């Protein structure tokens, strides 16, 4: 299955702990998410899928290279299409599991993400929402290996799930944590993300699989926290000075964060931070399309998507 990128940036499967694999899609930018698979005896659990049909098919083919067992469960860490559009490649027969809000938001959003990047080869995607949902916590098993599904509250979105595997000291953080990639909290919460990161840190994982970017350790929590606290400071100063989020974004010195992929996300992040600075509840609804449109204006073009 050919990809337009060279071999160094093609998706690949990496065994990060015994029977626990990360599916990594460099460079981790828009719609190039990470996913995972847990293989234990006759049980295979997938964590997230991919944005396009061909990428999800590649993920399935790579899984088949490490096990003859077909996945029976797919866990979605949130509702965004880059993590869920590939569900249909595995389900049926696999059951799709996610937070109860993820099912609702997935049905509302549909395949709308495809309209933002019409030139992407999405394939013949069929929306496959969760068939099993939970509210606060849920356990899924691969053999005797327990996967704890935890809803941390509004963070990247209001639909987030983190997958903690205590016996492997691995956490799949979803898009609450990214690695060398700019966080994106427009549909969630800055303050809620900081609280979620504290909960993740308290798990004391050795390995952290971020939603985008290279696998790391607990240092990824520090990276995300530093960025989010910086956004909060910008928003507080901007609100006090009567500047709009766009004006604040244009005046901001990115400093070390300039090295993050998709730095244009500063603008939607500021919209969320401004709302919270003015008293909005975490996860309160914002005009996502208007914020995305303004981000395109700020960036000077449509953000790049290599999916």
Q: What is the pLDDT of residue 306?
A: 95
Task: Return the closest-CA partner of residue 265 out of 228, 237, 239, 307.
Answer: 228
- Here the tokens at position 208 are 């952290």
Q: Determine, yes or no, domain membership for 60.
A: yes
Q: Determine, yes or no, domain membership for 197.
A: yes
Q: Determine, yes or no, domain membership for 2.
A: no
Q: Domain count of the chain?
A: 1
Task: Return the closest-CA partner of residue 57 out of 96, 87, 20, 15.
Answer: 87
For 46-64, the pLDDT digits (tens) are 999 999 999 999 999 999 9
CA distance 226 to 69: 41
Enter the pTM of the model: 0.96
Q: Determine, yes or no, domain membership for 304.
A: no
Question: Does residue 273 contact residue 238 with C-beta atoms inside 8 Å?
Answer: no
* 282 has a pLDDT exceeding 80: yes
* 69 has a pLDDT exceeding 70: yes
CA distance 238 to 245: 7
Q: Determine, yes or no, domain membership for 306.
A: no
Q: Determine, yes or no, domain membership for 30.
A: yes
CA distance 249 to 256: 15
3-state secondary structure of 113: helix
Q: Could you identify the residue written with the tokens 């899928």?
A: 49
Cα 183–185–186 angle (5° rounding)?
Answer: 130
For 218-255, the pLDDT digits (tens) are 999 999 999 999 999 999 999 999 999 999 999 999 99
Q: Could you identify the residue written with the tokens 């898009």?
A: 175
What is the pLDDT confidence band of residue 4, given thresholds at 50, 70 and 90? very low
CA distance 22 to 15: 6
CATH (domain of 241): 3.60.15.10
Q: What is the DSSP string of 69-85?
A: SPP-EEE-SSS-HHHHT
What is the pLDDT confidence band of residue 123, given thresholds at 50, 70 and 90? very high
- Structural domain containing residue 293: 7-299
Strands 95-99 and 73-75: parallel
Q: Determine, yes or no, domain membership for 23.
A: yes
CA distance 210 to 120: 23
Question: Does residue 269 contact residue 224 with C-beta atoms inside 8 Å?
Answer: no
């Amino acid at each position: 299955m050919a990809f337009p990128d060279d071999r160094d940036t093609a998706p690949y499967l990496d065994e990060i702990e015994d029977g626990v694999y990360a599916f990594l899609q460099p460079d981790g930018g828009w719609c190039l998410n990470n996913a995972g698979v847990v293989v234990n005896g006759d049980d295979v659990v997938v964590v997230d899928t991919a944005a396009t049909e061909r990428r999800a098919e590649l993920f399935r083919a790579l899984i088949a290279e490490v096990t003859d067992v077909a996945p029976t469960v797919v866990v979605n860490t949130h509702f965004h299409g880059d993590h869920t559009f590939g569900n249909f490649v595995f389900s049926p027969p696999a059951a799709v599991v996610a937070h109860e809000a993820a099912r609702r938001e997935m049905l509302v959003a549909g395949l709308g993400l495809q309209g933002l990047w019409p030139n992407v080869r999405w394939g013949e995607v069929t929306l496959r929402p969760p068939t099993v949902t939970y509210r606060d916590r849920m356990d899924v098993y691969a053999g005797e290996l327990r996967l704890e599904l935890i809803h941390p509250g509004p963070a990247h979105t209001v639909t987030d799930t983190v997958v903690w595997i205590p016996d492997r000291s691995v956490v799949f953080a979803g898009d609450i944590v990214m690695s060398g990639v700019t966080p994106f909290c427009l549909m969630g919460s800055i303050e809620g993300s900081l609280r979620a990161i504290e909960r993740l840190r308290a798990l004391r994982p050795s390995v952290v699989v971020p939603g985008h970017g290279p696998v790391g350790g607990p240092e990824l929590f520090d990276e995300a926290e530093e960025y989010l606290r910086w956004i909060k400071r910008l928003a507080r100063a901007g609100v006090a000075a009567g500047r709009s989020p766009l004006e604040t974004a244009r005046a901001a010195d990115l400093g070390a964060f300039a090295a993050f992929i998709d730095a244009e996300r500063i603008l939607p992040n500021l919209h969320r931070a401004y709302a919270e600075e003015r008293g909005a509840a975490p996860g309160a609804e914002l005009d996502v399309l208007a914020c995305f449109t303004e981000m395109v204006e700020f960036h000077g073009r449509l953000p790049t998507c290599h999916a």
